[in-house]
Amino acid sequence: MKEFFINILDGLGLSWWAEIVTDAPRCTYYFGPFASEADAQAAKAGYIEDLEQEGAVGIRCTVKRCKPDRLTIYDDAMETIPTPSTAVLSGQT
């Protein structure tokens, strides 16, 4: 029954989410949906702990009402993209 209620809230954009932003990797994560702000606040410590164990740094968390269209947003504009190397094999010109 609780899931049904959360799905209705989420459909209306009234559910609560934990938005976690990390500096490295440069990402935004959304965890939820939750029926109440208190539920989201109670759950956020576990998400932060998981990200810390994965090596994330500069972690900031905000609990808010929203309706994210993506649960993980990777900001690759700040990352360096390795250029592919071109190998030259003997006998090639």
Per-residue pLDDT tens listing for the chain (93 residues): 878 878 788 888 889 999 999 999 999 999 999 999 999 999 999 999 999 999 999 999 999 999 999 999 998 765 544 444 444 445 544
pLDDT score, position 91: 53
Residues constituting the chain:
93
Q: Which residues contact 79 (CB under 8 A, 6 or more apart)?
A: 25, 26
Provide the whole-model pTM: 0.76
Q: Give SS3 for 85.
A: coil
pLDDT at 84: 46
CA-to-CA separations, 83 to 24, 80, 92, in angstroms, rounded: 21, 9, 21
Spatial distance between the Cα atoms of 76 and 39, rounded to a whole number of angstroms: 31
